[in-house]
Structure 1
């Protein structure tokens, strides 16, 4: 992942409603959710939700698919994993996490 993509992803998540939406979609797994179900689950107005889904989609963290007359939103798990890998690339000052987790020095391991 390039730095520009990481910044865009982190910026999209740096808002409480968008973070809640993304976490709900991660929880929904590959089935995803339609906007109506998301709005009810998160108690967010449909127009507000639409704005936040657009921002998450533009960041690449959320995928949108049309299913007949419905839109289905899913977390882009590959993008999420790429972001996590990018953030952890220099974990533990470059030492192997196996070594440090045994010593209990690495909080991410």
Structure 2
């Protein structure tokens, strides 16, 4: 992952409702969740959540799919793996196990 891409991804996650939405969608796995349900569970207006979901989508963290009248959002596992790898590649002089991070966890996320 390039530094500028990492900055974009981290910036997308650096907001309370977007981080909550991403974590919620990560928990749903391949099933995903309708945008309206994400908004309801987080407790924000639908139009506000649409803006947050667009930010996450533009950062490449989630992807929308239309199912009937609903838009279902799912995480993009590769994006999280790439970010985790970027953040841990140089941990402890190339020995992430010294920092308590196994390279399997960093690269095998999601």
Q: TM-score, length-normalised on structure 2?
A: 0.86
**Paired residue for 1:57?**
57
Displaced runs of 4 or more, over 6 A: none
Query: How many residues end up aligned between the 2 structures?
Result: 102
Map residues 1-109 of structure 1 onto 2, 5 A cutoff: 1-95=1-95, 97=97, 100=98, 106-109=99-102
Please give the root-mean-square deviation of Cα atoms over the aligned residues, in Å: 1.2
Q: Which has the larger radius of gyration?
A: 1
C-alpha deviation, 1:94, in angstroms: 1.7
| Partner Cα separation in structure 1 for residue 39 and residue 70 of structure 2 | 14
| Partner Cα separation in structure 2 for residue 96 and residue 52 of structure 1 | 33
Aligned residue for 1:72, secondary structure, equals: strand
What CA deviation, in whole Å up to 9, does each residue of 1:39-92 have, x standing for no partner? 111111101101100111100011011112221101111101110011000011
| Partner Cα separation in structure 2 for residue 42 and residue 95 of structure 1 | 38
* Unmatched runs of 5 consecutive residues or more in structure 1: 101-105
**Paired residue for 1:103?**
none
